[in-house]
Structure 1
Amino acid sequence: MNKIPLIVSTDWLYERLDDPNIRILDATTFLRHSETGYYDVWSGKVAYDEAHIPGAVFADILNDLSDPEAKYSLTVPSREYFTHNISKLGIGDPDTYAVVYDRGAEVGNSIASSDWASRLAWQIRYEGFENVAILEGGLPKWQSENKPVTNEVNTYPQAEFTGERDGPLFSTKEDVKQAIGDDNIVIINSLDPETYKGSKKTYARAGHIPGSVNVFFGSHSDPETKALFDDEELRKNFEKAGALDPDKKVITYCGSGIAATWNGTILNKLGQNNVSVYDGSLTEWTNDPTLPLEKEE
């Protein structure tokens, strides 16, 4: 089977709804910033039950596809745990392909980003299944075009997950520590400018990882139409950061390794394939008082 694009349009998916080899995953997860600074996160299963793209199955990132015993929520689980649960959704057979979508980044925020979908797609690729795409604009764009939705629950035949872990896609705290000051590695903070500068405190400590540059994950799509900007526009922010240099490695991070995967996906789309995601991100980093942070005035 030919490899599908990293990001597919709503028309592309609509034309393939009846393809027996497609596996559509609704990765909706809801995040809302609380008054205490940190955020609340909950599953999108109820929203899926109310309406979803025909044929889609619900992929519960929070409860079924993250490590249930980890110190922090949304941590990558063991390969055995993830592949067991994702194969039950029909993902893994080499003659199939997957399209993942969500309902947006944050509750009550107009940010246009498919970062929950990109998180799941990144996890699937990390475990070795390559033929997975993200739906541009997700369900909001799909519904704005009056494309069909249903509340009919679907299932796919259980798959046999194939492939091997792609280790370079994943970065640990130690990897990031070693990357600070390395001219061959660009570290990208994917959060909003206020959090990056340290003027807004969401995590245990305010600020950013020393030497990291800020490319806001919400700057890649039109907030009204949810459509991605063209590649020329997408390149601008990443070129300023030096992240498109093919001779350099890029590590992206955010709060919990979600928005970072959207930046990673856009970088891949632009031809930068040496991209890794720091899974623990600032949730882990700021909870370790021995690790440095920088602020900007």
Structure 2
Amino acid sequence: MSGFVHPEFLVETGWLADHLADTVVLDCTVHLIPDPQKTYIIKPARDDFERGHIPGAQFCDVQKDVSDTRAKFNFMRQAPEDFAAAMRRFGISNDTKIVTYSTANVWWATRVWWLLREFGHDNAAVLNGGWQKWQAENRPVETGPDKRRSAGSFMSGTPRGLFVGKQEVAAAVGDPGVCTLNALTAAQHAGSGGNSYGRPGHIAGSLNVPAASLVDPATNVFLPPDELRARLGAADALNRSVIAYCGGGIAASADAMILTMLGHADVRVYDASLSEWAKDESLPMEVG
């Protein structure tokens, strides 16, 4: 972790194995199944969880537990009181150490971490390498439904403003002081392939650092800090205000978390992302 300004936001499997008794662990996995009519179908990975999970972990259904289910778009940030109620159901209080992980893409874990940060809880970390690394090391596995803890006393702090809407993003188009950063794949950014959320391509003027490019595909662990700094620096994302986006504010949270760990203090996520922007013909997009 040498090279990160905030290494405390990432924990290793060995550390977690030693601290399971005093840590709340959340499996945040969701599968997005491509669908030509709906873009994708949301499938919480509860079945996967019951087939095997880190001992003592609880399953966090990101869409139902920690998203606004009344919103027009999927995975939108909840009101503070709704998020606090969800945390209390997981047995979480304001002094609780939380570790999030995923059995699929890391950004489901970083999304919940980003939400915790938005509501003032800094005693949370993402498991480096996630379930893939835990399994590869033959660490203990538990099966069956999760066992909920006694209710916690979590209270949300005043939101930190880590999420923005389309007005702020539109105002940033053409502003040299803002880096609008797309965390989707290179093909999606170019408009040449992958899931489309409406019009293909990217928000006008935005740059591309795919969330998937931040992890080693062989091990699922984040790349070394120097390499992460170089990749994000190549997009000039280290010295400007950053608005990260993707399809629905999920993958963007991985870029946002790494920038935060590298010491960037002005990073926000466009919550509705292309799920909103790409469908609004009045908002500028580019391909290529």
| Fold conserved between structures, TM > 0.5 | yes
Q: Note if 1:165 corresponds to 2:166.
A: no
- Structure 1, residues 4-60: CA drift from partner, whole Å, max 9, x if none? 8111111111111122xx111111111232355822221111221221101111111
Matching residue of 2:100: 100
**Number of aligned residue pairs:** 281
CA distance in 2, matches of 1:96, 1:82: 15
Q: Structure 2 unaligned runs (5+)?
A: 1-5
Matching residue of 2:282: 290
Matching residue of 1:178: 171
Q: Structure 1 unaligned runs (5+)?
A: 106-113
CA distance in 1, matches of 2:14, 2:231: 28
Aligned partners of 2:184 and 2:251 also within 8 Å: yes
Aligned partners of 2:68 and 2:75 also within 8 Å: yes
Which residue identity does 1:243 align to in structure 2? Answer: A
Q: Counterpart of 1:167 in 2: which secondary structure?
A: coil
Q: Note if 1:15 corresponds to 2:18.
A: yes
Q: Indicate the percent of aligned positions where both proteins have the same amino acid.
A: 37
Q: Point out the more displaced range, 207-216 or 165-174.
A: 165-174
| Structure 1 residue corresponding to 2:200, chosen from 202, 206, 215 | 206
Matching residue of 2:3: none
Q: Point out the more displaced range, 189-198 or 33-42.
A: 33-42
* TM-aligned CA deviation for residue 205 of structure 1: 0.6
Q: Note if 1:275 corresponds to 2:267.
A: yes
Aligned partners of 2:120 and 2:160 also within 8 Å: no
Q: Point out the more displaced range, 27-36 or 62-71.
A: 27-36
If asked which structure has higher relative contact order (CA below 8 Å, sep 6+), I would say 2
Q: Note if 1:53 corresponds to 2:54.
A: yes
* TM-aligned CA deviation for residue 142 of structure 1: 0.5
* TM-aligned CA deviation for residue 240 of structure 1: 0.9
TM-score by length of 1: 0.90
CA distance in 1, matches of 2:278, 2:77: 18
* TM-aligned CA deviation for residue 157 of structure 1: 2.3
CA distance in 2, matches of 1:4, 1:94: 20
* TM-aligned CA deviation for residue 126 of structure 1: 1.0
| Structure 1 residue corresponding to 2:235, chosen from 233, 237, 241 | 241
CA distance in 2, matches of 1:151, 1:4: 31
Matching residue of 1:142: 134
Q: Note if 1:229 corresponds to 2:223.
A: yes
* TM-aligned CA deviation for residue 163 of structure 1: 4.2
CA distance in 2, matches of 1:46, 1:86: 22
Matches within 5 A, 1:246-261: 248-261=240-253
CA distance in 2, matches of 1:28, 1:161: 22
Q: Note if 1:193 corresponds to 2:186.
A: yes
Q: Counterpart of 1:40 in 2: which secondary structure?
A: strand
CA distance in 1, matches of 2:273, 2:164: 9
Q: CA RMSD in A?
A: 1.7
Q: Counterpart of 1:18 in 2: which secondary structure?
A: helix
Aligned partners of 2:83 and 2:156 also within 8 Å: no
Which residue identity does 1:15 align to in structure 2? Answer: D
Q: Point out the more displaced range, 28-37 or 140-149.
A: 28-37
CA distance in 1, matches of 2:94, 2:67: 23
Q: Counterpart of 1:72 in 2: which secondary structure?
A: coil
CA distance in 2, matches of 1:101, 1:197: 30
Q: Counterpart of 2:286 in 1: which secondary structure?
A: coil
Aligned partners of 1:4 and 1:131 also within 8 Å: no
Matching residue of 1:110: none
Matching residue of 1:111: none
